[in-house]
Amino acid sequence: MGGFPDIQTRLGDYVDQFVSFLDTTFEVFFELIFFISSRTINGIEDFLVWMPWWLFILLIFLLGWYFKSVLSGVMYGLFIFLIGTFGLWEDMMTTIAIILTAVIICLAIGIPVGVWMAFNKGFSNIMRPLLDAMQTMPSFVYLIPAIFFFGLGNVSAIFATLIYALPPVIRLTELAIRGVDREVIESAQSFGSSRWQMLRKVQLPQALPTIMAGVNQTTMMALAMVVIASMVGASGLGEQVLVSINRIDIALGFEAGISIVFLAIIIDRVTNGVADKFQKHRGVS
């Protein structure tokens, strides 16, 4: 007697029909995305694998030294060396290639969208619920359309990662542009700056530290999708975690898991270091 009335909405059917329509109508577009994404991932991965191991570790050391300290550089280099001793060097390179590709695409889309939202209140009001949905929807749900459009593999991982990792850079770019001091903007206007000149020479430089915080968050969220993306055939460290779960292999699971932690520490510290450099430069200027 207390059950819910026998009323069923078929919203899921409409979504299914819409996705099928997109796949049929924009098949060439999705094939182009697949081609570009796969070539980008493979190109980055081939370059990283080609690079001598000692040179890569040296670059990581220099990044840590420049953006943090000598001790940090030594620690980051040691982390990368340990991953190599686990026998996960090529898996690490694949993971880095996937993350770099995803982050580059996120920035190429997210920063312009964030700027547009900062200048257009109506567009911002439309985008905010979409961004809320992108951030709160269970990340496993993104894997379904990824498989539908691109099949199994690294490109599907990129697609799913984009949806999950895109909102932070959009939100923080909008917040940063809106947060630029009004007096600075009025001063630029008094000198006859056009809207484009004001954006390029005043607002973006002032907003850069906050935008870099968005880059940091987007990169970390892209890394967080590594294990989940392995469920759609993405290779790399996430795949090794999935294999260890299937085999109940504690040793492999620990080595792959701690390797992801090492990468997360390095990426977080370096991107934060970049943001701090911009902040100090802004303070000095």
Q: What is the pLDDT of residues 265-276, one digit of tens each?
A: 998 888 888 777
Q: What angle do CA 168, 174, 177 make, to 5 degrees?
A: 135
How far is 240 from 248, CA to CA, in rounded Å?
A: 12
- Look at residue 285 and tell me whether its pLDDT is greater than 60: no
Q: What is the pLDDT of residue 215?
A: 86
Which CATH superfamily does the domain covering 11-50+86-284 fall into? MetI-like (1.10.3720.10)
Q: What is the pLDDT of residue 224?
A: 84
Q: What is the pLDDT of residue 78?
A: 95
Q: Lowest-confidence range among 11-15, 57-61, 133-137, 165-169? A: 11-15
Count CA atoms within 13 Å of residue 14 on its CB side. 3
Length of the chain: 285
How far is 186 from 81, CA to CA, in rounded Å?
A: 52
Q: What is the pLDDT of residue 245?
A: 87
In sequence order, the 6+-apart residues with CB closer than 8 A to the CB of 88 are 237, 240, 255, 256, 259
- Look at residue 278 and tell me whether its pLDDT is greater than 70: no
Domain limits, the chain: 11-50+86-284
- Look at residue 233 and tell me whether its pLDDT is greater than 50: yes
Position 283 confidence tier, pLDDT thresholds 50, 70, 90: low
DSSP code string of 151-162: -SSHHHHHHHHH
Position 284 confidence tier, pLDDT thresholds 50, 70, 90: very low
pLDDT, average across residues 17-22? 78
Q: Lowest-confidence range among 3-7, 38-42, 178-182, 250-254? A: 3-7
Q: What is the pLDDT of residue 82?
A: 94
pLDDT, average across residues 80-100? 91
Q: Lowest-confidence range among 99-108, 181-190, 220-229? A: 181-190
- Looking at the chain, the whole-number percentage of residues with pLDDT higher than 90 is 18
Position 7 confidence tier, pLDDT thresholds 50, 70, 90: low
Q: What is the pLDDT of residues 161-194, one digit of tens each?
A: 888 888 999 999 888 888 877 777 777 667 676 6
In sequence order, the 6+-apart residues with CB closer than 8 A to the CB of 92 are 80, 83, 84, 236, 237, 259, 263
How far is 67 from 211, CA to CA, in rounded Å?
A: 17
